Amino acid sequence: WFELAHDRLVAPVQAENVAWFEQNLSTFQRRAELWERSGRTSGWLLQSSELEEVVNNRPNLPEGWTPTEEDFYQACLATWEQIQREQRDSRRIRLLAYVASVIAIIAIIATILAFSYAEEARKALDTATSRELAALSVNLLQSDPELSILLAMNAISTTYTYEAESALHEAIQNNQQVISVNNMGSGLKSVAFSPNGDFILTAGNNGIARIWNAKNGAEVKSWAAHPATVWEAVYSHDGSLLATASADQTVKIWNSSTLEKIVTLSGHFEAVSGVAFSPDDRRLTTASWDKSARVWDVETGKHLLTLLGHEEAVIRVTYSPNGKNIATASDDGTIRIWDAAIGINIATLVGHDYNVYDVEFSPDGSRLLSVGWDGYLRIWDTMSWREVANERGHIGQVIGGTYNSTGSRIATVGTDRSVNVWNVSTMTKDFVLYGHKSAVTSVAFHPDSKTIVSSSEDGSAIVWNIMSSREVVTLQGHSKPVNDLEYSPEGTQIATSSEDGTVKIWDSKSGMLITTLSGHRGEVSVLDFGPSGEHIVSGGEDQIIRVWDIKTGQEKVATDDVGYWILALAYSPDGKIIAAGGLNGHNNVDIYEAQTGKLLRPFQKNNYPDRVVRWGRMSTKYFSKPGRRSKRRSRKVMAFCERRTPLW
Tell me the per-residue pLDDT of 325-348, one tens digit each, with 9 for 90 and over: 999 999 999 999 999 999 999 999
Q: Is the dihedral of CA 171, 401, 455, 261 positive or negative?
A: positive
Using alpha carbons, select from 193, 232, 190, 184 the residue that is nearest to residue 464: 193
Mean pLDDT by 10 residues, the chain (648 residues): 59 60 60 77 70 64 69 78 80 84 85 76 81 80 68 78 75 60 64 85 86 80 89 90 93 91 93 93 94 93 94 93 93 93 93 90 92 90 91 85 89 87 87 80 80 75 63 58 73 81 82 86 89 91 92 90 85 86 69 88 47 31 29 31 32
Q: Are 400 and 444 in contact (CB under 8 A)?
A: no
Cβ atoms of residues 310 and 290 within 8 Å:
no
- Of 523, 514, 580, the closest CA to residue 547 belongs to 580
Q: Quick count: other Cβ atoms within 10 Å of Cβ 553?
A: 14
- In whole angstroms, what separates CA 367 from the centre of its chain? 35
Pick the CATH number of 473-641 from 2.130.10.10, 3.90.226.10, 2.70.70.10, 3.65.10.10: 2.130.10.10
Q: In angstroms, what is the C-alpha Rg of the chain? A: 46
Determine contact, residues 346/332, Cβ cutoff 8 Å.
no
**The pLDDT value given to residue 645:** 31
The answer to whether 212 and 218 have CB atoms below 8 angstroms apart is yes
- How many other C-beta atoms are found inside a 10 Å radius of the C-beta of residue 459? 21
Rounded CA separation 572/559 (Å): 17
Q: In this structure, which CATH number among 2.40.50.140, 1.10.3720.10, 1.10.1040.10, 2.130.10.10 belongs to the domain 177-465?
A: 2.130.10.10
Q: What is the residue type of 320? A: S
Distance of alpha carbon 435 from alpha carbon 460, whole angstroms:
9
Euclidean distance between CA atoms 309 and 430, whole angstroms: 37
CATH 2.130.10.10 residue window(s) in the chain: 177-465, 473-641
The 10s digit of each residue's pLDDT in 73-98 is 778 778 777 777 888 888 888 888 88
Question: DSSP string covering 434-449, please?
Answer: E--SS-EEEEEE-TTS
Distance CA 13, CA 22 (A): 14
292-297 vs 303-308, strand pairing mode = antiparallel
Q: How far apart are CA 325 and CA 328, in angstroms?
A: 10
C-alpha span between 496 and 154 (Å, rounded): 12
Cα distance between residue 440 and residue 457, in whole Å = 6
274/432 Cα distance (integer angstroms): 26
Residue 608 falls in which region: left (phi positive, over 0), alpha (psi -120 to 50) or beta: beta
Positive or negative CA dihedral for 595, 598, 600, 602?
positive
Inter-residue long-range contacts of 58-67, CB under 8 Å, 24+ positions, other chains counted: 60/17, 60/20, 61/21, 61/25, 62/21, 66/32
Residue 477 in 3-state DSSP?
A: coil
- The secondary structure element, H or E, covering residue 355 is none
- Give the strand pairing for 451-456 and 460-465: antiparallel
Determine the residue type at 569.
L
Q: Output b/e per residue, 531-548; b: 16+ Cβ within 10 A.
A: eebebbbbbbbbbbbbbb
Distance in angstroms (rounded) separating the CA atoms of residues 498 and 481: 6
Give every CB contact of residue 615 below 8 A, 6+ residues apart in sequence.
635, 638, 639, 642
SS3 360: strand
Confidence (pLDDT) at 640: 31
Residues 230, 252: Cα–Cα separation, whole Å: 10
3-class DSSP state for residue 593? strand
Contacts of 179 (CB under 8 A, 6+ apart): 212, 214, 215, 216, 217, 462, 463
Say if residues 647 and 570 touch (Cβ distance below 8 Å).
yes
Is residue 282 within 8 A of residue 275, CB to CB? The reply is no
Residues 478-517: b if buried by 16+ CB within 10 A, e if exposed: beebbbbbbebbeeebbbbbbbbbbbbbbebeeeeebbeb
- Note the pLDDT of residue 537: 94
Distances (CA, A) of 139 to 85, 177, 621: 80, 19, 15
d(CA 538, CA 325): 58
> What b-and-e string marks burial along 258-275, b requiring 16 or more CB atoms within 10 Å of the CB?
eeeeebebebbeebbbbb
**pTM listed for this prediction:** 0.50
